[in-house]
């Protein structure tokens, strides 16, 4: 594979958007037109509905957003059949030329991290991806196996730095030597990101920076000039377009330097919930994607 940072920039430019579709198949929210996703965890009916819904989301994403971000937990809770859907989803997206950000938030020490990295990073991994989300809060040394695997496969990492949840500040905002912990983490990541900068100026090592904290995102961008940002919190979590784009850069093709994720806003919009057929649902999702792209593009 070519360098992840370059592939990300190319995807931003090709689709003219930083928009990323989160695919979290909440069984209770999947429209009945796909079947009975609430039939019971790992039941045949639930697996069929979750598979058909997830693949339909992917079909709507291809060519219209820069990436998809499946959340592993929603597949894992369905057992082996759910994980098979996740594997197939990642492979189908990659085959279609779409970036896959696996949101599995792995992080551990030593050989365990090496095993996680082998399982989740790269197009040839059992759960194929272009990039993986990683939890660094056990220490920077725990990133080494993930970095090694990402470097070897041309893949990316998104390190949890300043997350979008309301309680993020309980630890991330704690002051140490005059700075919050998330800024200390950014300083440790900066040289690692710079060392992995691609030919188009973006690193393969990025961070997760929630859209709900725009001032922090701007400060993080100053500290991590080369790093791509994965930005959750846009839409259903409360952040508007101006906040969501605060950590990105504006190029001639539009917003670059990362991905703005929307899950419920893209795959569970109100206009799609009442669809009477798959075709109506597809039309509603296509409209929603186009509307969100326009909203982001209008911010300068």
**pTM, to two decimals:** 0.96
Instruction: Using CA atoms of 144, 1, 16, 104 in order, give the dihedral in degrees to the nearest 10.
Output: -40
Annotated catalytic sites, by residue? 105
Paired tokens of 99: 């970036």
* 217 burial type by CB count under 10 A (0-12 exposed, 13-18 middle, 19+ buried): buried
Over its length of 300 residues, how does the chain's per-residue pLDDT go in tens digits? 799 999 999 999 999 999 999 999 999 999 999 999 999 999 999 999 999 999 999 999 999 999 999 999 999 999 999 999 999 999 999 999 999 999 999 999 999 999 999 999 999 999 999 999 999 999 999 999 999 999 999 999 999 999 988 898 899 999 999 999 999 999 999 999 999 999 999 999 999 999 888 888 999 999 999 999 999 989 765 679 999 999 999 988 899 999 999 999 999 999 999 999 999 999 999 999 999 999 999 997
Query: Can you tell me which residue has the tokens 């079909």?
Result: 59
8 A C-beta contact, residue 9 and residue 227: no
Q: Which helix (H) or strand (E) holds 223?
A: helix 214-223
Domains of the chain: 4-297 (3.20.20.70)
């Amino acid at each position: 594979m070519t360098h992840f940072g370059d592939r990300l920039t190319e995807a931003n430019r090709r689709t003219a958007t930083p928009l990323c579709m989160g695919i979290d198949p909440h069984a209770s929210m999947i429209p009945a037109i796909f079947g009975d996703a609430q039939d019971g965890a790992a039941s045949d009916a639930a697996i069929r509905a979750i598979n058909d819904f997830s693949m339909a989301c992917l079909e709507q994403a291809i060519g219209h957003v820069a990436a998809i971000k499946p959340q592993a937990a929603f597949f894992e809770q369905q057992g082996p059949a759910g994980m098979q859907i996740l594997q197939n989803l990642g492979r189908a997206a990659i085959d279609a030329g779409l970036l896959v950000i696996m949101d599995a938030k792995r992080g551990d020490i030593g050989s365990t991290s090496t095993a996680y990295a082998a399982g989740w990073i790269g197009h040839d991994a059992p759960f194929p991806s272009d990039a993986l989300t990683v939890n660094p809060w056990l220490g920077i040394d725990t990133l080494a196996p993930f970095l090694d695997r990402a470097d070897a496969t041309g893949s990316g990492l998104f390190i949890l730095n300043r997350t979008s949840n309301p309680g993020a500040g309980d630890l991330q905002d704690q002051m140490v030597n005059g700075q919050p912990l998330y800024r200390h983490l950014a300083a440790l990541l900066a040289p690692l990101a710079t060392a992995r900068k691609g030919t188009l100026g973006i690193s393969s090592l990025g961070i997760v920076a929630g859209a709900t904290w725009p001032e922090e995102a701007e400060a993080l961008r100053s500290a991590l000039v080369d790093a791509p940002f994965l930005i959750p919190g846009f839409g259903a979590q409360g952040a508007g377009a101006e906040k969501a784009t605060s950590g990105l850069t504006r190029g001639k093709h539009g917003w670059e330097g990362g991905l703005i994720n929307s899950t419920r806003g893209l795959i569970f919009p109100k206009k799609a919930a009442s669809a009477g057929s798959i075709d109506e649902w597809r039309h509603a999702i296509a409209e929603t994607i186009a509307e969100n792209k326009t909203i982001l593009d209008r911010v300068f």
